[in-house]
Amino acid sequence: MSPESSTTAARTVLVIGGGAAGNAVTILLRRAGLAVDLVEARDDWNATAGSGITLQGNALRVLRELGVWEQVEAAGFSFGSVGITTPDGTVLHVQDDLRTGGDDLPATVGMQRPRLQRILIDAVRDSGARVRLGIRADSFAQDVDGVTVRFTDGAEGRYDLVVAADGLGSATRAAIGIEVGPEPTGMAIWRIAAPRPAGLTRTDLAYGGPAYIAGYCPTSADTIYAYVVEANRDRASVPPESYADEMRHLTRHYGGFWPEITQHITDPADVNYTWFDRLLVEGSWHRGRVVLVGDAAHCCPPTLAQGAALSLEDAWVLAHLLTGTDTWDDALFQAYYERRIARVRPVVEASVQIGQWQLDGVRDADLPGLMTRTMTMLRELP
């Protein structure tokens, strides 16, 4: 990246959204000397949201670039294989995971999602970025030189670039005229954080039983997150107060470690219920000087555990391009899109296809081949 003496150092960037992509691009741009404001709609900066996250090697590669790999390694649980089991817990096959971040990083790290967020929050704070919480961007007025942004607190700012990292339901995406939005795939997932049973040292996936998938991932020395995937239902039919009962109704049919895990599914407030969605913005990820990253531009079911990794890669690629030239124009932003879409589209399509095979009851699908081809591609630098 360009040194701080570059003329890009005088430029100002607004990052909207303080999730993985927004935090990552903020850290990288600040490192290059740019002035960065980050606004996040939630007062708590999402510091307590979520149960667990599976980070594969290509995500770890970017986290190392951010300078937080040592903290991630210490807080998470590294492993290198996935087991396939029957619903009763019998292990059918154990497959080594591809090291998509290179041989010097683990294949996979599981960790508590709030812990990852706190690590990234600390790195953003340390970068010197100006952070404002509980604030949204309300309107955008663009010209050839930049963007004037009015915020929900009445303040106004002028920026050379706006990076929209405000997630799947991005208000910024809609505000700049990109009308595509997320579409449900037909599946939904129940998730919970729980104590780690003795001997649970990798992800295991059970296919079949009352759910399409029942799985878990170790997230620290003493925690896991567990999940079951089923067909999505009308959300009105699953009120939050029923979440623990609904998840326990599914998990009680599974063996192996599941009886011990199920004992901890008691508080509905600890259970998260989410539909699987698909989103892929085609053509370009920018309008003028407003550029999309992460879930604002693409989202896929977690069947390949690549959502966070792709978002982190977006941030790395965009920051690299912005700090490698003094010319910020349509050609640069289109180059960002073309570089990313070639990598993101196959992952979105494969992730959706894996779920669709299950919904359709296809028993002879080439699941191992599709997964291997897709993950092998991700070994290449983004």
Question: Is residue 312 within 8 Å of 363, Cβ to Cβ?
Answer: no
| List of E strands, 41-80 | 52-56, 77-79
Verify that 247 and 307 share a domain, yes or no. Answer: no
The rounded distance, in Å, linking the Cα atoms of 202 and 375 is: 18
Q: Residue 33: inside a domain, yes or no?
A: yes
Give Cβ neighbours of residue 147 (< 8 Å, ≥ 6 apart).
Answer: 14, 140, 141, 158, 159, 160, 161, 162, 288, 289, 290
What average pLDDT is seen over the chain?
95
pLDDT tens-digit series, residues 67-94: 999 999 999 999 999 999 999 999 999 9
- Spatial CA neighbour of 289 closest among 136, 142, 139: 142
Domain end: 276, 307, 336, which one? 276
**Which residues lie across from 228 on neighbouring strands?**
190, 214
Verify that 163 and 46 share a domain, yes or no. Answer: yes
Q: What is the mean pLDDT of residues 340-359?
A: 97
3-state secondary structure 168-187: CCCHHHHHCCCCCCCEEEEE
Q: Which region among 121-125, 202-206, 363-367, 378-382 has the lowest average model confidence (pLDDT)?
A: 363-367
Q: Is 177 left (phi over 0), alpha (psi -120 to 50) or beta?
A: left
Does 3 have pLDDT greater than 50?
A: no
pLDDT tens-digit series, residues 138-163: 999 999 889 999 999 999 999 999 99
What's the burial of 35, exposed, middle or buried (CB within 10 Å: 0-12/13-18/19+)? middle
What's the burial of 255, exposed, middle or buried (CB within 10 Å: 0-12/13-18/19+)? middle
Provide the pLDDT for residue 4.
40
Q: For residue 326, give the 3-state DSSP assignment.
A: coil
Give Cβ neighbours of residue 236 (< 8 Å, ≥ 6 apart).
Answer: none
Provide the pLDDT for residue 6.
44
Q: What is the mean pLDDT of residues 91-98?
A: 94
CATH of the domain at 256: 3.30.9.30
Q: Residue 361: inside a domain, yes or no?
A: yes
Verify that 291 and 147 share a domain, yes or no. Answer: yes
What is the DSSP code (8-state) at residue 145?
S
Verify that 205 and 264 share a domain, yes or no. Answer: yes
Verify that 172 and 200 share a domain, yes or no. Answer: no
Q: Residue 128: inside a domain, yes or no?
A: yes
Residue-range definition of the domain harbouring residue 264: 185-276
Verify that 145 and 250 share a domain, yes or no. Answer: no
Continuous segment of H or E residues that includes residue 361: none
Q: Residue 259: inside a domain, yes or no?
A: yes
Q: Residue 94: inside a domain, yes or no?
A: no
Q: Residue 99: inside a domain, yes or no?
A: no
Q: What is the mean pLDDT of residues 258-284?
A: 97
The rounded distance, in Å, linking the Cα atoms of 218 and 224 is: 4
If pLDDT is split at 50, 70 and 90, which confidence band does 9 have?
A: low
Does 328 have pLDDT greater than 50?
A: yes
Q: What is the mean pLDDT of residues 269-279?
A: 96
Concatenated DSSP letters of 106-128: -SEEEEEHHHHHHHHHHHHHHHT
Task: Please give the tally of structural domains in the chain.
Answer: 2
If pLDDT is split at 50, 70 and 90, which confidence band does 1 have?
A: very low
Q: What is the mean pLDDT of residues 10-23?
A: 96
Q: How far is CA 318 from the centre of its chain?
A: 16
355, two tokens: 């779920």
Q: Residue 101: inside a domain, yes or no?
A: no
Q: Edge-to-edge strands of the sheet including 161-164? A: 130-133, 35-40, 12-16, 161-164, 290-292, 286-287
Verify that 176 and 194 share a domain, yes or no. Answer: no
Question: Is residue 377 within 8 Å of 346, Cβ to Cβ?
Answer: yes
- Spatial CA neighbour of 245 closest among 294, 201, 192, 285: 192
Does 10 have pLDDT greater than 90?
A: no
Provide the pLDDT for residue 368.
87
Verify that 170 and 190 share a domain, yes or no. Answer: no
Domain end: 276, 304, 325, which one? 276
| List of E strands, 232-355 | 271-280, 286-287, 290-292, 298-299
pLDDT tens-digit series, residues 207-259: 999 999 999 999 999 999 999 999 999 888 899 999 999 999 999 999 999 99
